[in-house]
Amino acid sequence: MSAPKSSPQRYIVTYTDQDINAGSAAQVLNLSEDKIQDGVSLLESDQPLTANDVLHFDGLGSSSVVLTASEVESLKHDQRVVAVEPDLEVHILGADAALMNGHATDSNGSTDYYDSEDALLEQPKQGSSTQTPGFEAGYKQALNDMQARMLEQMNNFFQNTGTSSNSPILKPFQPVKPVLPPIQLPPVLLQPVPWNIKMVKAPQAWPRTKGAGIKVAVLDTGIANHSDLTISGGASFVPGVVSYNDGHGHGTHCAGVIGARNNALGVVGVAPSCRIYAVKVLNDAGSGQLSWILAGMAWARNNGMQVVSMSLGSNSGPIVAYTTAVQQLLAAGCVVVAAAGNTGGPVGAPANSPGVIAVAAVDQNKVVAPFSSRGGNGNQVTISAPGVSVNSTYLNNGFKAMSGTSMACPHVAGGAALLRARYPTWNPLAITNRLRSTAADLGVPGNDPTYGAGLLDCDAATM
């Protein structure tokens, strides 16, 4: 008896030629060229994705297509093909995963984001006068002078009209102390700086650079409108969804860590003057497909993004399609930063792709979080950043504390933005090396699989 046939499913085909066009891809797939569609344009539209749709990602050297098992085997033996990989499901790497690994997070959505040293300047006490001594003394002197002149005129009147000498001469009266309303000076507002932003020493770097003008793409669940964020643009690659608005909260949280504005409101990001772009590659449930992520990476490359932040992934070994896409982004001058993962085990994809800055999570004591992934095959942990109870922007114009390597990743993306602005001629490799060489060593001396080079230090990096 023959084995039952497996149902067709969607795969990512990565070609030997990374610059392959749609026509050549059609030849490899044994399809007519009119069957191939631009993957970025299709997923960015409101058109739903069907099994008949074949997507090609120009510039990334890959296509997304539904194949049978026999077609997969045939393509694997084609010398024009590097790999044929399932279109895997991808998830956020935030608080939910951290909870599953035994780490509780703050889910009450608290907006108590003022540190004791970040409190407002003391305002004048109720009812106290804020007039200067010179003003009050001058006011009293004017009253006394006026009263003296009135008394002198009245006494002269009595004398000139023959009034009896027994008539009383008017005496000066005690001036009434004026009751003036206090002048209330407006309080001087200070931007609250969260503990995690202080830990990576971003404020010390701001006199040199705040990341002005650097384009940072946040590949996530989108970004919601927020008074503490400025969104410069973006796109959605969730099939049938054209808005990059965030209905989950994860992407909005990550965006705030990168670039919440320095505006005396809520929180502030590592690079508060950078330009943030919302690239929605995960749905409002926090999941998506590998092909959606590739579309977002292609969009970032095509639109000149200088830093890409990906707080997402899957618990898998290195994926060729990611590796090729990352190499194309790096070649275009874009720094790629990704969360290491929340399994406590090996670093997952895409963080395990060569050239990616893979970020581990530490707590307020600079100790690695138990959920933070480490070691494994492929790319290792590059650097560490705060990822436990990190407060940032959230849905409905609010703020929320969340945990995960998802929260650590955007700190480093912000650090990369500071460096791009500080040293605009540096390529991604130079920026990565600078972040590593200036990190504060944690764990065993030197680079290690848990902390990488150590804790992100924006001050030292931007010297």
Catalytically annotated residues: 220, 250, 406
- If residue 251 lies in a helix (H) or strand (E), which one and from where to where? helix 250-259
Structure tokens given for 461: 């990096």
User: Among residues 263, 265, 225, 266, which one has the least CA distance to residue 246?
Assistant: 225
Other Cβ atoms less than 10 A from the Cβ of 30: the count is 10
Give CA–CA dist 315/200, Å, rounded.
28
Buried b (16+ CB within 10 A) or exposed e, 92-113: bbbbbbbbebebebeeeeeeeb
Check if the beta carbon of residue 390 is closer than 8 Å to that of residue 368: no
Check if the beta carbon of residue 237 is closer than 8 Å to that of residue 43: yes
Phi and psi at 204, nearest 5°, equal -70, -25
Give CA–CA dist 371/383, Å, rounded.
16
Give CA–CA dist 392/258, Å, rounded.
10
Give CA–CA dist 222/243, Å, rounded.
8
Amino acid at 155: N
DSSP 448: B
Q: Beta strands of 227-334 (E only): which ranges?
A: 231-236, 275-280, 287-289, 307-310, 312-313
What does the DSSP assignment read for 216-243?
EEEEES-----TT--EEEEEE-STT---
Check if the beta carbon of residue 8 is closer than 8 Å to that of residue 66: yes
Give CA–CA dist 223/248, Å, rounded.
9
User: Among residues 439, 456, 269, 442, which one has the least CA distance to residue 366?
Assistant: 442
